[in-house]
Amino acid sequence: MRMRFLGVGSWALGVLAVAGAAAFAGARQAPQQPAPAPQQPSEIAVVISGDPGTPPRYAIPDFVALNPEAAEVAKTVAQVLWDDLAFEREFYLIPRDTYSTVPAARTADQINFNSWRELGADGVIFGTVQRMGANVRVEVRLFNVRTRQAVFSKEYTGTDANPRLYAHTIADEIHQQQRNLRGVARTRLTFASDRNRERVAGPVENRDVKEIYIADYDGANSRRVTTSRQLNINPSWSPDARAVAYTSYVPVPDIFISYLYRGVRENPTKRQGSNFLPVFSPDGTRMAFMSNRDGNPEIYAMNVDGSGVRRITNHPAGDSSPTWSPTGTQIAFTSDRSGTPQIYIVGADGLNLRRLTNESYADRPTWSPAPFNEIAFAARTGPGYDIKIFDLASGMTRQITFGEGTNESPAYAPNGRHIAFSSTRAGRWQIFTIGRDGRLVKQLTRDGNNTTPAWSN
């Protein structure tokens, strides 16, 4: 009997011991988890996270001007940085008019983290601006409000010619570091505009003067590229964002390339028939365009210098509006070979033609950049047009604008998350951007009529 007692008892003790060991192990594991293992990179701790289910909340108070002459730059940088970070919708940006409840800090040591926490901030950006002659030095730090530690710290020195560029650079680097996202704050738009209101005498089709402009992605810093006092439309960027190609009515429509930093204007097609709608291939070596040099509008491709012309389409109906796939192996275009204009795709060698859309009228396709595989286009919906997106993987079409004015000429941002388009929703033709999901419409231009945007890399 004693033996049996011992046997059962020791088994029970064994079970208890195992259970106890498991509980003990669990108890030991729990506090170990938050501490990072030594071989882990510190990046994990660097990312500021928000409350569960909400994006991180950032506050960007005005940058501190270290000398009085820097005050204006300091204010601009903070405001533009706020707009840049809000544009990608990765963070909730606490409105700047609420910051008066937080005591202003002159140095990083004075940041009142308790007040920022009370305002709900997860991260706060502290920056200083110092002016040294014509140069400015911008120093910026992003603090995690909970741990009170700087997770991002950079210093920039340069001219004061474009203070917005400092904010755009900071925004792109914060998006890259915190969200592993390629921001578009330093990209630019090009578009056609009649904002200088020039008119010339001549045939009716030439009285309308439009010039090519470039501007920052937010519409600021717009600059004129062409000064030809003619109709210049449909600009597109070279992949390195150093050249803009466009159609210029001289008075016969022809293709021109303006090299922005060299101040050179080239005419690769050299008046062979009428040539329209140039678009650079993704590697920047070739250019697709539409031409009627063989009698009716067809799609062609050529080298950027005008050599190696190759005809892509061959059909008695009209083909226009080419756009390259991200790999440069396919071209999407508009054709009315079915009776109404529809979007088609074809290999860059002219083979494997395929119809995509079945709209009442579809035009101006734009192929998205690589992470997304879709084509945005303008489709007739009632009296005007709206932007629709055709998803090549699923074959589904979705609509992102809904009958506010007419909406045309979509152009993708280089990260594929935004689309620029021209719309009459605010009266005259203006350039707007919209999220790929149809949210956050933003008007970029206000002066004159502005159409046919293209977004640089």
Binding site for another protein (CB under 8 A): 1-2, 4-5, 8-9, 11-12, 15, 19, 52-55, 57, 92, 94-95, 98, 101, 118-120
Q: CB–CB of 352/397 below 8 Å?
A: no
Q: What single-letter amino acid sits at 65?
A: A
C-alpha to C-alpha distances, 403 to 38, 357, 398, 408, 437, nearest whole angstrom: 57, 19, 14, 11, 16
* In the complex, least distance from residue 89 CB atom to another protein, rounded to whole angstroms: 11
| Cβ distance to another protein smaller for residue 120 or 384 | 120
Beta-sheet pairing, 64-65 with 123-132: parallel
Q: CB–CB of 232/246 below 8 Å?
A: yes
| Cβ distance to another protein smaller for residue 98 or 176 | 98
| Cβ distance to another protein smaller for residue 180 or 307 | 180
* In the complex, least distance from residue 62 CB atom to another protein, rounded to whole angstroms: 17
Going by C-beta distance under 8 Å and a sequence separation of 6 or more, which residues neighbour residue 394? none
| Cβ distance to another protein smaller for residue 63 or 91 | 91
- The dihedral over CA atoms of 435, 441, 447, 450, expressed in degrees to the nearest 10, equals 50
* In the complex, least distance from residue 57 CB atom to another protein, rounded to whole angstroms: 6
* In the complex, least distance from residue 55 CB atom to another protein, rounded to whole angstroms: 8
Going by C-beta distance under 8 Å and a sequence separation of 6 or more, which residues neighbour residue 10? none
| Cβ distance to another protein smaller for residue 94 or 170 | 94
C-alpha to C-alpha distances, 175 to 57, 72, 90, 152, 184, nearest whole angstrom: 14, 25, 8, 11, 10
* In the complex, least distance from residue 131 CB atom to another protein, rounded to whole angstroms: 32
* In the complex, least distance from residue 3 CB atom to another protein, rounded to whole angstroms: 8
| Cβ distance to another protein smaller for residue 9 or 36 | 9
* In the complex, least distance from residue 144 CB atom to another protein, rounded to whole angstroms: 18
* In the complex, least distance from residue 21 CB atom to another protein, rounded to whole angstroms: 14
* In the complex, least distance from residue 52 CB atom to another protein, rounded to whole angstroms: 8
How many other C-beta atoms can be found within 10 angstroms of the C-beta atom of residue 320? Answer: 21
* In the complex, least distance from residue 24 CB atom to another protein, rounded to whole angstroms: 16
CA distance 386 to 272: 34
| Cβ distance to another protein smaller for residue 8 or 200 | 8
| Cβ distance to another protein smaller for residue 12 or 132 | 12
| Cβ distance to another protein smaller for residue 101 or 307 | 101
**Half-sphere exposure of 443 toward its Cβ, with a 13 Å CA cutoff?**
13
* In the complex, least distance from residue 435 CB atom to another protein, rounded to whole angstroms: 14
| Cβ distance to another protein smaller for residue 92 or 361 | 92
| Cβ distance to another protein smaller for residue 2 or 197 | 2
C-alpha to C-alpha distances, 343 to 5, 142, 167, 312, nearest whole angstrom: 86, 46, 39, 15
